[in-house]
Amino acid sequence: MKKIKILIPLVCLLVISNTFLGRAQLSKSQAVITAGEAAQHIGETLTVCGHVVDTRYASSSRGRPTFLNLDKPYPNQIFTIVIWGEDRGKFGEPEKKYRDKNICVTGRISSYRGVPQIQASDPKQIEIKE
Indicate if the pLDDT at residue 3 is higher than 70.
no
pLDDT for position 25: 40
Greater confidence (2 vs 79) lies with 79
Residue pair 43/55 in contact (Cβ under 8 Å)? The answer is no
pLDDT for position 106: 98
pLDDT for position 93: 97
Rounded Cα gap, residues 67 and 81, in angstroms: 6
Rounded to an integer, what is the distance from CA 123 to the centroid of its chain?
12
Thinking of the domain 32-129, which architecture would CATH place it in?
Answer: Beta Barrel (2.40)
Domain chopping of the chain, boundaries = 1-30, 32-129
Per-residue pLDDT reduced to its tens digit, 19-71: 444 434 434 445 899 999 999 999 999 999 999 999 999 999 999 999 999 99
pLDDT for position 21: 41
| Cα angle value 62/64/67 (rounded, 5°) | 115
As beta bridge partners, residue 32 has 47
**Percent of the chain scoring above 90 in pLDDT:** 75
